[in-house]
């Protein structure tokens, strides 16, 4: 399954003219040793396991960031299905003490939205796609409720989309206020991720870091 997903990822990259040397080397390494793909997916999805990723990066002569992205992309549909089964079967929640982490798989959120109906803040997992309610005034990256550490970056005051930042961990998350969107328009995390790259550039220019790449799940 993971080998087929990797081949599909490479085919999509080739079709869009985005294939890299790292992706070619990864594909060749997986073809030579398919058993390494579950190890890569697990190391990238959970933690992440930086020691394992760095070891694989040296072995295959690729960048750690490339392994992190590819590994999470491979893991995403598997984790999403596992989360769906666990929640539907028994209402399982794995990380109730970490409100800034996905309650199903423990990964970091990708997008925050303020609901149209009541303004409550909901976070969407960047790995399995689960959505959960979270504190409004708390960092979505490290969880700190220290208001002195929290900030906002906007292009325009009236924008429905902005960046929420944290001086403690230097992380950030993109936020969408549904109450400022036209009637009937909904927030689709996959679309938001692609349509708001300008906000990522703004955050990076100001010195904030997105440590965990988004994986297209579901």
Give tens-digit pLDDT for 152-211. 999 888 899 999 999 999 999 999 999 999 988 888 887 787 788 889 999 999 999 886
What's the pLDDT at 100?
86
The band of 218, judged by pLDDT with boundaries at 50, 70 and 90, is very low
Res. 48: pLDDT tops 60: yes
Query: Which pair of tokens denotes residue 17?
Result: 């003219």
Q: List, for residues 10-43, the tens digit of each pLDDT value.
A: 898 898 888 889 999 999 999 999 899 999 999 9
User: How does the average pLDDT of the chain come out, rounded?
Assistant: 87
d(CA 64, CA 171): 19
Query: Which pair of tokens denotes residue 183?
Result: 């009637």
Question: For residue 180, what is the DSSP state?
Answer: G
Output the CA torsion 81→90→121→148 (10° steps): -100
Query: Which range (8-12, 134-138, 213-217) has the least confidence?
Result: 213-217
Question: For residue 129, what is the DSSP state?
Answer: -
d(CA 182, CA 135): 25
Nearest to 211 by CA among 60, 78, 53, 85: 53
- The arrangement of strands across the sheet holding 121-125 comes to 131-133, 121-125, 109-114, 172-177, 161-166, 150-153
Nearest to 121 by CA among 105, 130, 132, 108: 132
């Amino acid at each position: 399954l993971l080998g087929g997903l990797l081949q599909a990822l490479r085919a999509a990259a080739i079709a869009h003219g985005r294939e890299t040397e790292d992706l070619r080397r990864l594909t060749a390494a997986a073809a030579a040793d398919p058993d390494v793909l579950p190890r890569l997916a697990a190391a990238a999805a959970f933690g992440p396991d930086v020691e394992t990723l760095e070891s694989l990066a040296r072995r295959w002569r690729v960048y750690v960031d490339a392994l992190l992205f590819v590994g999470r992309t491979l893991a995403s549909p598997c984790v999403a299905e596992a989360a769906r089964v666990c929640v539907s079967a028994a209402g399982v929640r794995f990380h109730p003490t970490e409100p800034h982490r996905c309650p199903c798989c423990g990964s970091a959120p990708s997008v925050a939205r303020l609901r149209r109906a009541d303004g409550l803040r909901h976070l969407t997992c960047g790995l399995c796609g689960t959505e959960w309610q979270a504190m409004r005034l708390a960092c979505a990256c490290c969880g700190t409720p220290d208001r002195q550490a929290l900030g906002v970056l906007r292009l325009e005051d009236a924008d429905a989309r902005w960046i929420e930042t944290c001086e403690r961990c230097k992380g950030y998350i993109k936020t969408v206020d549904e109450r400022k969107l036209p009637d009937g328009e909904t927030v689709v995390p996959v679309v938001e991720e692609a349509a708001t790259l300008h906000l990522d550039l703004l955050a990076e220019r100001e010195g904030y870091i997105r440590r965990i790449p988004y994986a297209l799940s579901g």
